[in-house]
Amino acid sequence: MIDFQTDPSRYRHWRLSFDGPVATLTMDVDPGASLFEGCELKLNSYDLGVDIELADAVQRLRFEHPEVRCVVLRSGKPGVFCAGANIRMLAKASHGHKVNFCKFTNETRLAIEDASANSGQAWLAAVSGSAAGGGYELAMATEHIMLIDDRRSGVSLPELPLLGVLPATGGLTRLTDKRMVRRDRADVFCSTEEGVRGRRAVEWRLVDEVVPPSAWEAKLRERALAMAALSDRPADAKGIVLTPLQREFSDQQVTYSHVRVTYDRAARRADITVTGPRGDAALWPLVVARELDDAILHLRLNEPTLGLLVLRSEGDPAAVLAADELLETRKDDWLVREIRLYWKRLLKRIDMTSRSLIALIEPGSCFSGTLAELLFAADRSVMSDTAKVHLSTLNFGAYPMGNGLTRLATRLLGEADTFVEARERVGEAIDAEDAVALGLVTVAYDASDWDDEVRLLLEERASYSPDALTAMEANLRFAGPETMETRIFGRLTAWQNWVFQRPSAVGEEGSLKRYGSGLRPRFDSERV
């Protein structure tokens, strides 16, 4: 089982150090600590295990260290920044593992960008040595890239010429959309194994500045402090420790303090039940977000055949609304801001999970405010005529999707008047008839028909082709405008998904299998 929970005392690949408002996160990958037997993680190459630690560090820096205003990302190995994803790992991994690995690394890099954009915790990449493939993609996730001008260090995206695959963690899109590299130069750059160094890297906007070795450490500190000075994070606040999650695993379920995941393997289904606050609601949003996040990641990587996720809730809707009220009235507090941003990232992860999502609103449910976002994330939401739902102000801007719109605005894209009507019902107990009319749920069933209607819905969904369902859901979930984020997932990830199944990449004579063997790969010459 792949476990997404870790902490700095267990890191094998990263080191964290602190100096006032500046933290340094040093990548020093242990070559012998791969998740895959027989894969040596040379030259700071990485597998999912390396990125699980990175994601944990990103999260802890935001919650445990409010005093940190700038994070310097650098290498602990001489002559190399990061060689990218480990090729032996990619050759050995199943198709599903490769795709979910790429998805998770993309989400981690988006979390870095979110910290710079919204948390006042800017990230700076100090590239000394070669930053190749995923290594350069990691640097591109930061706000500022410094490159040492030593005639050896450079940046490259050599996946196409070397491996017959694509830069899988947003590289192509960030080149054109974030760093504004010209299309023709990007074409040259992505077709060149050796990459680009020195002043040309700045001219092409591949990095932000080059620094001579004699001034490297001094300039790096100067730049980090200058970036830190722009932050609004409190210098004297005390962070909140992200303690280990309370959870129990069995063959039939995973149980947390506020989340329960129950398996029905015969039906290829997992039921996820979220419990509302008990007593003090102040920290409930953070606790339940961490637990639900862990549950979703566990299902993605460890339960690939459970293709239908049924979302349920139980508890007091008023308690959920009280928690939302705290998140709204204290939104300028650094910790409340982080909790809201975490929910935004969690909900995006649910949007990007390639499982059918069906929400059931039953008597005793507490799909209110923040938890109502699960209804809007679902492919279908079904409501009993004896249940109620509630909206809060957080449903109208706090948790935008990757397209920049709220989930409710995305759902009601062609129904502007209905969206306005829904906003006017904030705080009310909305019955099934009105919930259907407002577009908050898909359909409502009479209580006497509930069991049969739900059974038929779930059985029908589970009977469809998983491949076709995944494709349909990915197309329908992201209506509205395109952004860099939707392009990364909707274009890059979709194409990489396809490339990872083609014989030119993964066949016995494909590039991933023959890499390092001295034999040239054999490519299928047909262009689709």
Q: What would the DSSP string read from start to end of 122-176?
A: EEEEEE-SEEETHHHHHHHTSSEEEEE-SSS-EEE--HHHHHSS---SSHHHIII
CA distance 365 to 275: 9
The domain in which residue 208 lies consists of: 8-228
Last residue of a domain, one of 228, 261, 285: 228
Name the band, by pLDDT with cuts 50, 70 and 90, for residue 207: very high
In a domain? residue 138:
yes
How many contiguous H segments (helices) and E segments (strands) does the chain have? 22, 22
* 325 and 211 housed in the same domain: no
Residues 317 and 461 in one domain: yes
Predicted pLDDT at 395 = 98
**Cβ neighbours of residue 108 closer than 8 Å, sequence gap 6 or more:** 51, 54, 55, 58
Q: Is there a single domain that holds both residue 268 and residue 218?
A: no
pLDDT in tens, 84-123: 999 999 889 999 999 999 999 999 999 999 999 999 999 9
pLDDT confidence of residue 209? 98
Q: Mark whether 196 and 298 lie in a shared domain.
A: no
- What pLDDT does residue 124 have? 98
**268 and 334, same structural domain?**
yes
Q: Is residue 107, in this structure, part of any structural domain at all?
A: yes
pLDDT tens for 431-471 read 999 999 999 999 999 999 999 999 999 999 999 999 999 99
- The pLDDT score that the predictor gives to residue 19 is 97
Give the Cα separation of 319 and 284 in Å (integer): 10
Kindly state whether residue 426 falls inside one of the protein's structural domains.
yes
Residue range 414-434: mean pLDDT, rounded: 97
Give percent of the chain above pLDDT 90. 93
359 in any annotated domain: yes
Does residue 280 register a pLDDT over 80?
no
Q: Please indicate, yes or no, whether residues 205 and 287 belong to a single structural domain of this protein.
A: no
Average pLDDT over residues 236-264: 96
Same domain for 415 and 465: yes
Does the structure show a pLDDT above 80 at 281?
no
Domain count across the chain: 2
| pLDDT, mean of residues 173-198 | 96
361-415 confidence digits (pLDDT tens): 999 999 999 999 999 999 999 999 999 999 999 999 999 999 999 999 999 999 9
Per the domain annotation, does 2 fall within a domain?
Answer: no
In 3D space, the residue among 239, 292, 225, 235 whose CA is nearest the CA of residue 61 turns out to be: 239
Asked whether residue 163 carries a pLDDT value surpassing 80, the answer given is yes
Which helix or strand (DSSP H or E) is residue 358 part of?
strand 356-361
> Which pLDDT value is given to residue 282?
81
Q: What CATH number does the domain containing 264 carry?
A: 3.90.226.10
Average pLDDT over residues 22-40: 96
Q: pLDDT exceeding 70 applies to what percent of the chain?
A: 100
In this prediction, residue 491 carries a pLDDT of 84
Asked which of 459, 476, 493 is the last residue of a domain, the reply is: 476
Q: Which of 228, 257, 283 is the last residue in one of the domains? A: 228
Q: Are residues 145 and 68 in the same domain?
A: yes
pLDDT of residue 516: 87
Query: Quick one: 221 and 263 in the same domain?
Result: no
Q: Which is more confidently placed, 170 or 528?
A: 170
pLDDT at 2: 97
Tell me whether residue 212 is in a domain: yes
Q: What whole-number distance in Å separates Cα of residue 344 and Cα of residue 370?
A: 10
Q: Count Cα neighbours of 381 within 13 Å in the Cβ-side half-sphere.
A: 28
Give yes or no: residues 172 and 260 share one domain: no
Average pLDDT, the chain: 96
For 242, the 3-state DSSP assignment is coil
Cβ-based neighbours of 17, under 8 Å, separated by 6 or more: 23, 24, 26
Q: Is residue 46 part of a domain?
A: yes
- Tell me if 346 is assigned to some domain: yes
User: pTM for this structure?
Assistant: 0.97
Per-residue pLDDT tens for 479-528?
999 999 999 998 888 888 889 899 999 999 999 899 889 999 999 998 87
In whole angstroms, give the CA distance from residue 325 to residue 282.
Answer: 10
pLDDT of 161 reads 93
pLDDT of amino acid 267: 96
Quick one: 269 and 188 in the same domain? no
Q: 299 and 214 in one domain? A: no
